[in-house]
Amino acid sequence: DAGVIQSPRHEVTEMGQEVTLRCKPISGHNSLFWYRQTMMRGLELLIYFNNNVPIDDSGMPEDRFSAKMPNASFSTLKIQPSEPRDSAVYFCASSFVRAPTTEAFFGQGTRLTVV
Amino acid sequence: QQQVKQSPQSLIVQKGGISIINCAYENTAFDYFPWYQQFPGKGPALLIAIRPDVSEKKEGRFTISFNKSAKQFSLHIMDSQPGDSATYFCAASIEGGATNKLIFGTGTLLAVQP
């Protein structure tokens, strides 16, 4: 398996523009997570899905952020409109909900710069 | 209660030395405590994990020490090597339920000097 695949790897956009980040989880995994990484706050959980259903979006910072998972092999995180403070590395991770392990597999991230 | 507090924020260790990173949590329902390692430009990857039924777990040069009563756990890297230079995150989750949400600490940037 190629692992979790994120695109694009880098995104530079102007303030006010819409940004869409994409994620393909590992085949067979039934949980998907979106994290945001910054120097100040570390890895923040934004939202996660189980079996394509959003379970907890309490980490989504504002209504400008939205996430979808239309099927088991694809998810998007959208920011509209984007602001400079949204600049960060966004990670998607997937896992399989099954004891005894909860290992999350991360993609390589999307570095977002909003100017 | 969902937070995991990690320290130090950064750490410089000489080659061959011991690196120690500490984490503390509040939620006593947490029952899975992994450490993730992240190299520049990469996503975090699982390094080692422990459950609260044991006080220590060792894998090679990496050891997790767990103190349930104090609600603390730590990562020890013995004989630290320059290749260990990375950011380390502790995390916690509740297993066995309907979800497996991982809550991460803020990370420790480790630099091992040759």
Q: Per the CB < 8 Å rule, is B105 touching A42? A: yes
Backbone angles phi, psi at B82, to 5 degrees: -55, -35
- Distance, in Å, from the CA atom of B110 to the CA atom of B22, rounded to the nearest integer, reads 13
Query: How many angstroms away from the CA of B33 is the closest CA of chain A?
Result: 10
Record: contact B93-A102, CB cut-off 8 A: yes
What pLDDT digit, counting tens, does each position of B42-56 carry?
999 999 999 888 999
Q: How many CB atoms lie within 10 A of CB B16?
A: 11
pLDDT band at A91 (very low <50, low <70, confident <90, very high): very high
Q: What is the pLDDT of residue B114?
A: 92
What average pLDDT does the structure give for chain A?
Answer: 92
Largest CA distance in chain B: 46
Q: What's the pLDDT at A16?
A: 97
The Cα B111–Cα A106 span in angstroms is: 23
Q: Mean pLDDT by 10-residue block, N- to C-terminus, for chain B (114 residues)? A: 87 97 94 94 94 93 95 97 97 74 92 96
Chain position carrying tokens 């989750």: B93
Q: Which of A43, A56, A99 sits opposite B89 (nearest CB)?
A: A43
Cβ neighbours of A89 (radius 10 Å): 17
Q: What is the per-residue pLDDT across A25-80, written as a single tens digit (0 to 9) for each?
A: 999 998 999 999 998 888 999 999 989 999 889 899 889 999 999 999 999 999 99
Structure tokens at A70: 């239309």
pLDDT at site A9:
97
